């Protein structure tokens, strides 16, 4: 049986998580007067050091003139912060200091904590502090929900309470040394259903995009493909997913003259990659599902990001469109549009946050040059693998075998953009590699890029479990294209792949088997086929597993 132990330190060790601060409903000012929060809301007035005042902080500090920026059940800083800046006037006393100093470190309090729905502010901390999983909703929080909805006449449904049995949480808790999820996982099935059906409650740019906003000159756009147009969507159950919209029709192929690093990112490639990864029994791609998104109601009307709001417009055909802001794309001709509001896209479930389950991002030894000229060493040196084998950890662990698995996966989908790979630090050097960002796959069904198989053809090693699985999927009764076709029919956007792409999988599988066969003829099966950590299974056992 595979090791299904949850990630050490991720959720199983609550002592690693900070305790939420104690909340007060009143506090004493410097003048000795007590200020009680209105409507039962923890919103006292606390003057700061000096002439400035910081009104409406959410809790009082232990000493006069300080405040703890705390949220019900989920704490931000848990120690007193002297407030140093004035704050804007916000509705319903949802106020926070715009700039405070925490000891010697500056603490910038996001404006969103001040002026957005209280429960959205709470959601910012749910994945980082799970002490409140079973805590009942406070009266103050309930009042804020009701008053805010009344003030803005909101019709959005109230948020569901954070439940320990939420599918996204159970998926994250189920991550083990063996893969992102067990072979038979009810949590993944429920998660796919939730990603497909649950209403969105907020939309925003991803953190890496936020960090880069404004870092380029929008007058100098050199990549006309709009490659990184993606958003983070939140749902009623506090789960999050990465949304990648449709940018290319299924029957279109990537032009021959396109370099791989300016290729489109395809939403259907993310969906198909998840299904193929599961069929190959890798289980290293986060659960991904297709969905028709109403870009007006499920993105524009729920986002509080002014930059994101500013990139929406109505096209001459009366379709609602939006485009990516700097640093990726700055022109409306590279926008994506609904029809008139509905837009296809992929939703990929989030992994645990990095502070709970740290991950390493490591350059791929077979990285490409990412330039219009020049080649990497592996492209000109057929013995490059001998150099890689001398470097730790590729010299004495399963890392090289995992690299070969990843190369086979990328070759099958036609992905040339695997410049880095990620892995959980908790599982050590032998941990599995995450197969993330697969949207540049399935671009050209008429071309097989053999250079993607360089790790296999140069190193001539493969896991026995992978070898047996590939042999099984080449048999007529379990043909890879047929298994993929049946699996993809479960997706709401079916058909996800066109028939030429499905047939290309069978053709590429034969090329992989041929490369392994050539290595076996040269070095022998005992040298090429390595026993991996998974218990080897005979083809008959694999057949039984596929039947179920």
Give the residue numbers marked as catalytic.
417
| Residue 242 to residue 231: CA distance in whole angstroms | 6
Helix, coil or strand: residue 231: strand
Q: What is the largest CA-CA distance in the chain?
A: 88
Q: How many CA atoms lie within 13 A of 383 on its CB side?
A: 2
Pairing of strands 240-245, 342-349: antiparallel
Structure tokens of 432?
């599995």
Sign of the C-alpha dihedral computed for residues 536, 538, 541 and 543 taken in this order: positive
- In the annotated binding site for ATP, the residues are 244, 348-351, 422, 437
The annotation places the binding site for Mn(2+) at 437
HEC assignment per residue over 369-419: CCCCCCCCHHHHCCCHHHHHCCCCCCCCCCHHHHHHHHHHHHHHHCCCCCC
Q: Is the dihedral of CA 204, 209, 215, 219 positive or negative?
A: negative
Distance CA 404, CA 453 (A): 8
Residues annotated in a binding site: 244, 348-351, 422, 437
Distance (Å, whole) CA 319 – CA 329: 20
Helix, strand or coil, per DSSP, at residue 308: helix
CA quadruple 463, 465, 471, 476: dihedral positive or negative? negative
Q: How far is the C-alpha of 498 from the C-alpha of 167, rounded, in Å?
A: 31
Helix axes 499-523, 464-473, angle to 10 degrees: 130
């Amino acid at each position: 049986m595979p090791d299904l132990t949850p990630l050490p330190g991720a959720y199983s060790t609550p002592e690693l998580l900070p305790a939420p601060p104690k909340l007060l409903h009143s506090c004493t000012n410097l003048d000795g007067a007590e200020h009680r929060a209105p409507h039962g809301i923890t919103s006292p007035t606390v003057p700061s050091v000096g002439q400035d005042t910081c009104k409406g902080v959410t809790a009082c500090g232990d000493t006069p003139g300080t405040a703890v920026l705390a949220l019900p059940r989920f704490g931000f800083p848990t120690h007193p912060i002297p407030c140093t800046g004035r704050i804007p006037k916000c509705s319903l006393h949802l106020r926070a200091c715009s700039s405070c100093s925490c000891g010697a470190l500056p603490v910038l309090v996001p404006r969103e904590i001040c002026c957005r729905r209280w429960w959205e502010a709470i959601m910012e901390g749910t994945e980082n502090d799970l002490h409140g999983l079973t805590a009942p909703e406070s009266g103050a929080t309930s009042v804020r929900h009701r008053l805010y909805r009344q003030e803005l006449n909101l019709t959005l449904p109230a948020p569901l309470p954070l439940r320990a049995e939420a599918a996204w949480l159970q998926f994250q808790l189920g991550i083990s040394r063996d893969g992102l999820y067990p072979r038979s996982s009810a949590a993944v099935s429920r998660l796919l259903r939730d990603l497909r059906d649950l209403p969105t409650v907020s939309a925003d740019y991803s953190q890496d995009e936020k960090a880069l906003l404004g870092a380029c000159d929008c007058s100098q756009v050199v990549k006309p493909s709009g490659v990184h147009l993606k958003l983070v969507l939140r749902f009623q159950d506090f789960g999050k997913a990465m949304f990648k919209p449709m940018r290319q029709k299924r029957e279109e192929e990537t032009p021959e003259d396109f370099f791989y690093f300016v290729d489109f990112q395809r939403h259907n490639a993310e969906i198909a990659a998840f299904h193929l990864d599961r069929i190959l029994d890798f289980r290293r791609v986060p659960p991904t599902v297709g969905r028709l998104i109403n870009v007006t109601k499920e993105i524009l009307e729920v986002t509080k990001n002014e930059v994101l709001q500013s990139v929406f417009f109505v096209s001459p055909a009366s379709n609602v469109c939006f485009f990516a802001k700097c640093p990726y794309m700055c022109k409306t001709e590279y926008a994506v549009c609904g029809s008139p509001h509905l837009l296809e896209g992929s939703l990929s479930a989030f992994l645990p946050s990095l502070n709970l389950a740290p991950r390493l991002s490591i350059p791929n030894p077979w990285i490409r040059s990412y330039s219009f000229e020049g080649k990497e060493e592996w492209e000109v040196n057929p013995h490059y693998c001998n150099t890689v084998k001398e470097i730790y950890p590729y010299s004495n662990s399963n890392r090289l075998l995992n690299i070969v698995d990843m190369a086979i996966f990328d070759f099958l989908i036609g992905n040339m953009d695997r410049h880095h790979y990620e892995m959980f630090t908790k599982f050590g050097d032998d941990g599995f590699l995450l197969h993330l960002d697969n949207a540049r796959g399935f671009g050209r069904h008429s071309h097989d890029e053999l250079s993607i198989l360089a790790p296999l053809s140069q190193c001539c090693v493969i896991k026995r479990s992978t070898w047996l699985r590939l042999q099984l999927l080449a048999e007529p009764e379990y043909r890879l294209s047929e298994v993929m076709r049946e699996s993809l029919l479960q997706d709401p956007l079916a058909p996800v792949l066109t028939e030429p792409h499905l047939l290309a999988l069978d053709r590429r599988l034969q090329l992989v088997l041929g490369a392994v066969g050539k290595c076996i003829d040269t070095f022998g099966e005992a040298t090429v086929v390595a026993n991996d950590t998974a218990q080897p299974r005979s083809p008959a056992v694999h057949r039984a597993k596929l039947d179920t």
